[in-house]
Structure 1
Amino acid sequence: MTQPFTDDLHPALPYPGTRPEHCFVHLDGEGWPVTPDPATDSGWRVAPDGRDLDDWLADHGEPPLAARMPVLAYGSNANPAKVTWLREEMGLTGPAVVLRARCEGISAVWAAGLRARDGERPATLAAAPGVEEEHAVWMATADQLRVLDRCEGRGLRYQLARVHSGRVTLFNGGRVDSVLAYTGAGTRRMPLLVRGAPVMCSEVDQPRARRLGGHPAETDGLDLTPVLGDPSPDDWPDRLFVYGTLQPGESHWRLLAEHVAGDPVAVTLSGSLHDTGRGYPALRPGGDHDVPGHLVRLKSPETAFPLLDKYEGDEYRRARVVLPDGTVTWTYLWGAGVDGMSVLPGGWVRR
């Protein structure tokens, strides 16, 4: 599908509504399909003209993916008509970026209590070893996350947590480790147990779910860490791919070293590396080479990135990229053209 779609193609009722079978951005009652493309700075393109998603967002005066946080949408939040409801009733602003994802080891199950406003049974998240489902990941701005907090009743009905259980993989192959998700915070949002087992939403529709009898589970079985306060886009991931002067042994490793936990790991990233002629290299996404570098884990991204962003300056932009094994990491991409620069197929070598 390459053309915009409207909400009427995906009604919100009965809960949780229907979902597009592709990634999309949504604004003012319309959605545009989004497809992965590692040759773009964002890693994604928007139909129908194939623009880089970050450029498309900038055209609407909105922040890029690097300024957004991944939040698992396993219920109605993946439904386009629900997004419109969030705009009309909850004050949501800006485009919603909704990326489809494969979820392993976790499942959307029916919650113990019914919704007060319409009597429908909502979903909640539970551990589900051996189960694989498709859901979505909102790439939410800070303002959008606050709207989702109000909608989900954060602290009352649901809590915002980092879920360490299972595996969440986007359609571009990137793994979202410790994804943010709204999980049950009280008895009524714990999984409903029927004959001792939770009921997966994919197996029982809403009309039958409303009639289910059972009792609340004591736990959802998830390995999670509740989030206190407002999370930051810099929190995920806590890894950085370095390929030039910030590498171990290079001239500015000392700026990074004190912020690194553990030992750097030699890895490669698909792309093209160019010699700027100024004593540092330029990395562009895509290309035919495996760019060598090092993957480091940061003790505190929020502490490290202000310093590193200042060092890299306006010539570079920090973006999330996907390594060949699916690891998502930050790196610094060259923001200008590379015409006239020589390619460095073997990687950066200190001059």
Structure 2
Amino acid sequence: MIAEDPREDDRPLPFFVYGTLRPGEVNHDLFLRGRVLTEEPGHLAGAVLYDGPGYPYAVEEPGETVRGELVTARPEAYEDLLAALDRLEEYVPGDPRNLYERAARDVVRAAGGTVRAWVYLAAPGVAGRLRDTGTRITGGDWISRR
């Protein structure tokens, strides 16, 4: 299980998105349109990206980087967006069947500085399988994989 500070569940954090929620990707407008204050480039240090069946998985690994966007929700839309993204990622707190775990991690802003953000990381069982047999996305950028 990915260790968390339970108090972070109560704080409205931005989201770090690295796959189908990025601008121009299939889920961006479906989930983020009208719910977001800002989107800015950033990266998650200490993680690698693996190709999945139509979407990527981020797996924590020292020395690597995943590129994506840091998304700040409108305050009035935060709870609905959090619930919608949990459903999209099929994340249920504490469920051993999760494909992803929502975790608070430090994300580096392209403009400088870091911010704590929610990131959907591959759940431990999925991460283990990906490390054994998965296909890494070179450079940690889902959009550049094409």
Structures share a fold, TM > 0.5?
A: yes
In the other structure, the counterpart of 1:318 is: 102
* Bigger helix fraction: 2
Contact kept in structure 2, 1:235 and 1:302, CA below 8 Å: no
Distance 2:36 2:86 in 1: 16
Residue identity in the other structure for 2:80:
T
State how far apart, in whole Å, the 2-side matches of 1:240 and 1:280 are: 17
Using the TM superposition, give the Cα deviation of residue 342 of structure 1 relative to its aligned residue in structure 2, in angstroms: 1.4
1:328 and 1:345 mapped to 2: Cα distance?
A: 25
Q: Which residue of 2 aligns with 1:329?
A: 117
Residue 16 of structure 2 contacts residue 107 of structure 2 at CA under 8 Å; is this kept in 1? no
2:36·2:72 contact (CA, 8 Å) conserved in 1? yes
Give runs of aligned pairs for residues 275-294 of structure 1, distance below 5 A.
Answer: 275-276=51-52, 278-294=53-69
Q: 1:323: Cα distance to partner?
A: 1.9
- Contact kept? 2:43, 2:66, Cα under 8 Å: yes
Instruction: Name which of 58, 82, 98 aligns with 1:305.
Output: 82
CA positional deviation for 1:234: 4.2
**Structural mapping, 1:143-292, within 5 Å:** 233-237=9-13, 239-254=14-29, 255-262=31-38, 264-270=39-45, 271-276=47-52, 278-292=53-67
The code of the aligned residue for 1:69 comes to: R
Q: Pick 1 or 2: higher relative contact order, CA cutoff 8 A, min separation 6.
A: 2
**2:83 aligned counterpart, secondary structure:** helix
Deviations 1:86-131 (A, max 9, x none): xxxxxxxxxxxxxxxxxxxxxxxxxxxxxxxxxxxxxxxxxxxxxx
Which residue in 2 is equivalent to 1:345? Answer: 138
Where in structure 2 are the equivalents of 1:69-80 lying within 5 Å?
Answer: 69=7
Q: Which moved more, 1:243-252 or 1:338-347?
A: 338-347
* Alignment-mate amino acid for residue 56 of structure 2: P
Tell me how far apart the structure 1 counterparts of residues 80 and 11 of structure 2 sit (CA, whole Å).
Answer: 10
Tell me if structure 2 keeps the 8 A contact 1:240–1:297. yes
Taking every aligned residue pair, what percent have the same amino acid on both sides? 31
Looking at structure 1, the residues matched to 10 and 81 of structure 2 have their Cα atoms a distance apart, in angstroms, of 10
TM-score calculated relative to the size of structure 1: 0.33
With normalisation by structure 2, the TM-score equals 0.75
Which stretches in structure 1 are left out of the alignment for 5+ residues? 1-39, 43-63, 71-232
Q: Is the 8 A contact 1:316 1:332 kept in 2?
A: yes
- TM superposition outliers: structure 1 runs of 4+ over 6 Å: none
Aligned length: 124
Alignment match, 2:95: none
RMSD: 2.0
- The one of 41, 44, 54 equivalent to 2:2 is 41
Displacement of 1:236 after TM fit?
3.0
Query: 1: CA distance between counterparts of 2:63 and 2:135?
Result: 14
Please report how far the alpha carbon of residue 297 of structure 1 lies from its aligned counterpart in structure 2 after TM superposition. Answer: 0.3
Q: Provide closer, same or farther for how the CA distance between residues 283 and 293 of structure 1 changes in structure 2, counting only shifts above 3 A.
A: same
SS at match of 2:79: helix
Structure 2, unpaired ranges of 5+: 91-97
Specify the SS of the correspondent of 1:261. strand
Q: Which segment drifts farther, 247-256 or 297-306?
A: 297-306
How far is the alpha carbon of 1:290 from its aligned partner? 1.8
Higher Rg: 1
The alignment partner of 2:62 has SS state of coil
